[in-house]
Amino acid sequence: MGRRRCAQAGFTLIEVMVAILIMAIISVISWRGLDSITQASERIDDGAQASAALLNAIRQFERDVAWRADGEMAVSTQATNAGNTSLRNVPLLPASLHIERLARVPWRVEIVRGVAGSPGQWQRVQWWQEGETLFRSAAAGSDLFPLPFPREQDRVAVLEGVGRIDVRAWRPGQGWENLPAQHGRLQAGGLELQLAMRTFQGDATYRRVMLLE
């Protein structure tokens, strides 16, 4: 009777191998599930970081435009334009905004704006796209014109994965117009920024419109 109980208490080799096989299958399934969750979490984190960087870049550009020094620039250029009385020679953009297209970069925006926390001082801020990167460069503030230009070491990469950027102005009575644009009778009433971003889900275009009051 004792020998029979000992024989019945153990497992056969086949039973052990089946148990090992089942545990191996469960381990593989669990690992794949964990790997899928990890990859999904990484994609979500990357998407959240990219969205935050995009939002910060748009907000900074919008802040630079909102802080532009139109009145000060008008005074500094008054002597230059004193003899110009033609109604058809009004710049589309205010004096504090300048947009140009260059051979090295698709476009560059220069904004003369007030220095935060330093009343009576202004600075030149430049935005441009180089490759798939959006750069911003801000010069030191000054209360004397002409203002200093940003230095090479002042530039900061604010956004990566940029496919294309367009900046347009709203010409009253005519609609959106690509920049730089010809002079006319009235100045622009708004500025439009379009960013085509490259994401893991494909290309996406974002648009922000700013009033030029």
Could you read off the pLDDT of 78-112 as tens digits, one per residue? 444 445 545 457 889 999 999 998 877 788 999 99
Overall size of the chain counted in residues: 213
SS3 161: coil
Could you read off the pLDDT of 57-68 as tens digits, one per residue? 999 999 999 999
Could you read off the pLDDT of 164-211 as tens digits, one per residue? 999 999 999 999 999 988 888 888 999 999 999 987 777 899 999 999
CA dihedral 6, 8, 9, 15 (to 10 degrees): 130
How far apart, in whole angstroms, are the C-alpha atoms of residue 37 and residue 44?
10
Q: Are 180 and 208 in contact (CB under 8 A)?
A: no
Closest CA to 66 of 94, 36, 27, 105: 94
What residue ranges do the domains of the chain occupy? Answer: 52-211
- pLDDT for the residue 32: 79
Burial of 127 (0-12, 13-18, 19+ CB in 10 A): buried
How far apart, in whole angstroms, are the C-alpha atoms of residue 48 and residue 27?
31
How far apart, in whole angstroms, are the C-alpha atoms of residue 189 and residue 92?
9
- Backbone CA torsion sign across 139, 143, 148, 149: positive
Could you read off the pLDDT of 38-49 as tens digits, one per residue? 776 666 666 678
- pLDDT for the residue 82: 46
